[in-house]
Amino acid sequence: MRHQRTGKKLGRDSAHRKALYANLAGALIENGRIKTTVTKAKAVRPIAERMITLGRRGDLHARRQATAFLRSRDVVHRLFADVAPRFKDRPGGYSRIVRLGPRPGDAAEMAYLELVDEEYVAELREERATAAEVVEEAPEEVSDTEVSDTGELDAGADEGADDGDDDAGGADEPEALDEAGLEEAPADPGKSD
């Protein structure tokens, strides 16, 4: 009996739904990870895993079945040559769904559907690590140019701050007054002691 075997309809007719599943499964095989809604990810995941199982079988009939569903020889070639050999020792569970939260436009729950092979995960970790190093290096370079090893501001930073204050004569006035033998002005002219 085939009770309760319908699956999600996703608001599409059967031909549109089948094309959607083929496109999403093909994109997952090509890219290793796709961003989609949680509902679509849950619907496509078993299909994509079935395609990877066909790739693991590797015979001509499996290749023809995969081509009939995925409709792209390039994707099927990548599936059989690159993706399926990575999972030769894994008995199933080739993908995972990572939830991302609501989409800003319509609050649909978004997720990554990604392959779980170690090489792909390692590549992502390396990319993230290099991106984090680049972000960390930029603020360190700025702080090194502004502050010297003794903790005082560099002369270059002081010169940039004093360029516009020449007319006001801010820091040079007390020295000029001392040389002339006059007393310094009180710190706050409004208050008298």
Q: What's the mean pLDDT in 170-178?
A: 51
Q: What's the mean pLDDT in 153-164?
A: 50
pLDDT at 4 over 90: no
pLDDT in tens, 13-72: 999 999 999 999 999 999 999 999 999 999 999 999 999 999 999 999 999 999 999 999
Q: What's the mean pLDDT in 143-149?
A: 49
Please name the amino acid found at residue 65: Q
Token readout for 86 is 């990575």
For residues 25 and 189, the model is more confident at 25
Whole-prediction pTM value?
0.61
pLDDT in tens, 91-137: 999 999 999 999 999 999 999 999 997 665 667 667 777 887 877 77
Sheet (strand 95-102) strand order: 33-37, 109-115, 95-102
Residue 80, exposed/middle/buried by CB under 10 A (0-12, 13-18, 19+)? Answer: buried
Token readout for 111 is 């997720």
pLDDT of residue 49: 96
State the CB neighbour count (10 A cutoff) for residue 74: 11
